[in-house]
Amino acid sequence: MAILKVARLGHPVLRQVAEPVDPRSIRSPATQRLIDDMIETMREYDGAGLAATQVHTLQQIAVIEVLANPRYPDAPPVPLMVLVNPVITPLTDATEEGWEGCLSVPDMREGLLRAGHPARDRPSERDRVPRPHAQSLHARPRRRVEQALARHP
């Protein structure tokens, strides 16, 4: 595994549109290595999530995890999630504001409006094993999913 270079604010890759991943390639060594490297990179920099676009790869892949994260000391734990070709479908119009950071914008936080508690979202996704599934997410894990997917313009 390797620590990948994270694109910083202003880099053109962050404004490009990520392409869907062909489900037949999800199990490929290259895709699995990218996912492993993204997880290692996110953990190395104490991120809560990381999109492939942030590591200069225009594919719809994101990884999310919050476990005793020093950048988010009060955040409830979010187990590791690997999202491939995710789609979020809000189930209500409720919103909430919260402070977020981004590995591509180091040392800055901003209050952002996201779908709010107790609303749930159902991401239609494929994980490391190419099988579609839906999952309902409560406010905190969903906020991390929305934050990571914001990197897929």
Measured CA distances, 71 to 11, 43, 60, 107 (Å): 23, 11, 25, 10
Q: Which of 153, 113, 121, 112 is nearest to 139 (CA)?
A: 121
51 in Cβ contact with 18 (< 8 Å): yes
Lateral strand order in the sheet of 78-87: 49-51, 61-66, 78-87, 124-126, 132-134
Q: Which two three-digit tokens encode residue 22?
A: 């062909």
**CATH number at 12-149:** 3.90.45.10
Write out pLDDT tens, residues 54-97: 999 999 999 989 888 888 888 788 889 898 988 777 677 777 77
Percentage of residues in the chain having pLDDT higher than 90: 38
Q: What is the pLDDT of residue 43?
A: 95
User: Best-predicted range by mean pLDDT among 47-56, 61-70, 107-116, 139-148?
Assistant: 47-56
In which element (H, E) is residue 34 found?
helix 29-44
User: What residues does each domain of the chain span?
Assistant: 12-149
